[in-house]
Structure 1
Amino acid sequence: MAGIAVTELNSQSTEHGTAVRYTPAPGAEPLRLGRPLVVAIDGPSGSGKSSVSKEVARQLRLAYLDTGAMYRAVAWDCLDRDVDLDDGELVEAAARTLDLELSTSPDAERVVVRGADVTDAIREPRISASVSAVATNLGVRDELIRRQRAIIAAHGRRMVVEGRDITTVVARDAEVRLLLTASEEARLRRRGAQLGGTQSVEDLLEQVVARDAKDSAVASFTQAADGVYTVDSSDLDFDQTVDAVLGVVHAALSRPAGA
């Protein structure tokens, strides 16, 4: 599905991140103009959630929220301040007091913690190796889910939201809910390419398979819940996966209420 022409894109910083306003070309109004459109996307590591979700947000002219970046930001903050990740209460306290600025534009990734730009730092292997200790802390999840729902509301419920429990917890009332998955082989290959081939097979297994096993104790993202569509991208390239997701969006919105 081809993208729709856009004549103007304006961004404005707010306390919730970067608000995005698109001015469409004549005859190319955004889908469901003036009405809520939350696209909730779950999936395991390496399934392509982030890159696909960004492109879907661009084509639908919606804001974008990477909830995983929020957990990574908490992990970075704890490590930077020498907070013991094994101390659940301290980690929860860090999440509740976290000074976080997060871009919600699919074209401008930016994560700022306590005034420091950590956009690249939160993707480092040491954060990937530590983030499960944060993501499995129920107090942290409660706080970040509260923030995520506030961000969705602040954007008029017009947003693509991706993560690990988005369809079942964060945005279970989303207009479109889908699980983006792929085979373990495909996910390991993609994550390795994403990291530029710098990681060993053992490191990739830890970052993809082992992390998913840990996080699945507190979040459901491996099996589609009732009413959630599934897109398996194992044999699809990037453009084909984006098209498949956009196809789900249109199918879900055209389905009769209660069907």
Structure 2
Amino acid sequence: MEDAVNDAVDDRPADAAPILVAIDGPAGSGKSSVSRAAAVRLGFGILDTGAAYRSLAWTATELGVDLDDAAAVAAILDDWEYRITLRGEQRVTVRVPGADPETDPADVTAAIRAHAVSGLVSRVSKHPEVRDRLNAMFRGIVAASGLPGVVIEGRDITTVVAPDAPVRILMTASAEVRARRRAGELAGLSHEQVLADIAARDAKDALVVDFFTPAPGVTLVDTSDLDFEQSVQAVVDIVRAVQRAAEES
């Protein structure tokens, strides 16, 4: 994976595995923006796993693949190349199977954030083989990062991708609060429209993951009554507390 900024340094052995901070949460909980800000403050990298699902949905659409066909979506991964920056401004590129090498890889950083793409994510993420293969890809990205630590946020992070991470956080917020936050980010959509979208997304996500009940060993951070700075500080405090405990032991 590409890295946009020089690696942070610490006093750990050069070949030490990155410290993992795993953060799950439903759409609109603030996990992406909070995770990125917390990673910067900690001197860690940030791996937004949702960007991979968005990129895969975008690729499937470009290829005309039925997103509900598990085998067809998984087949894309055989020749699909994905890159994302772990530090600095996020940049996402994909190499689309069979695409013209003159125009590939494609920079999809902006395209995957379109509202239309957001509505497709659950259709690709519901396939077990797709999740398994992307989860393996995420682990590889972290292992090869060369960073002192990586905050990983997205789907199945605390329970499947990094169940042994020393810090595991479930970040949530009420549907009303999440809709209000997302409405401010999505021009042209009313609060009611965004709330309906979030309710539908929650219902789809509930078929494959529980974003509201923390698994054993996972710390719950409810940001419903927290502003952005308070949410970031809550994550940083949890990470630093775990680091201090590890040093003392």
**Residue equivalent to 2:126:** 136
**Residue equivalent to 2:100:** none
Correspondence for 1:111 among 85, 92, 100? 92
Counterpart-to-counterpart distance in 2, 1:202 and 1:91: 32
Structure number with the bigger relative contact order (C-alpha 8 A, sep ≥ 6) is: 2
What amino acid is aligned across from residue 18 of structure 1 in structure 2?
A: D
Residues 12-51 of structure 1 aligned to structure 2 (within 5 Å): 16-18=1-3, 20-22=5-7, 30=10, 33-34=12-13, 36-51=18-33
Question: Deviation string for 1:146-189 (max 9, x for gaps)?
Answer: 10010111124720000021011101111111111111111000
Percent of residue pairs bearing the same amino acid type: 47
Report the secondary structure of 2:3's partner residue. strand
Counterpart-to-counterpart distance in 2, 1:23 and 1:104: 12
Q: Mark the runs of 5 or more structure 2 residues left unpaired by the alignment.
A: 96-104
1:168 touches 1:220 (CA, 8 Å); kept in 2?
no
- Tell me how far 1:128 sits from its aligned partner: 1.0
Counterpart-to-counterpart distance in 1, 2:198 and 2:226: 19
Counterpart-to-counterpart distance in 2, 1:203 and 1:17: 36
Q: Mark the runs of 5 or more structure 1 residues left unpaired by the alignment.
A: 1-15, 25-29
Counterpart-to-counterpart distance in 2, 1:109 and 1:256: 31
**Residues 236, 176 of structure 1: CA spacing in aligned structure 2 closer, same or farther, 3 A cutoff?**
same
Counterpart-to-counterpart distance in 2, 1:49 and 1:222: 13
What amino acid is aligned across from residue 56 of structure 1 in structure 2?
A: A
**Residue equivalent to 1:5:** none
Residues 155-166 of structure 1 aligned to structure 2 (within 5 Å): 155-156=145-146, 158-166=149-157
Counterpart-to-counterpart distance in 2, 1:230 and 1:142: 25
**Residue equivalent to 2:66:** 84
Count the aligned residue pairs.
235
Counterpart-to-counterpart distance in 1, 2:46 and 2:153: 8
Is residue 186 from structure 1 mapped to residue 206 from structure 2 by the alignment? no
Report the secondary structure of 1:18's partner residue. coil
Question: Deviation string for 1:184-226 (max 9, x for gaps)?
Answer: 1110001111113x22445423532211221222223221111
- Tell me how far 1:256 sits from its aligned partner: 6.5
Counterpart-to-counterpart distance in 2, 1:23 and 1:245: 19
**Residue equivalent to 2:236:** 246
- Normalised to the residue count of structure 1, the TM-score between the two structures is 0.84
1:17 touches 1:101 (CA, 8 Å); kept in 2?
yes
Question: Deviation string for 1:89-136 (max 9, x for gaps)?
Answer: 11111134322121111x211111221111111011111111111010
**Residues 213, 96 of structure 1: CA spacing in aligned structure 2 closer, same or farther, 3 A cutoff?**
farther
**Residue equivalent to 1:54:** 36
Q: Which has the higher strand share?
A: 1
- Tell me how far 1:19 sits from its aligned partner: 6.3
For the aligned residues, what is the CA RMSD? 2.1
- Tell me how far 1:86 sits from its aligned partner: 2.1
Correspondence for 1:224 among 214, 238, 243? 214
User: Once structures 1 and 2 are overlaid, which stretch shifts more, 171-180 or 215-224?
Assistant: 215-224
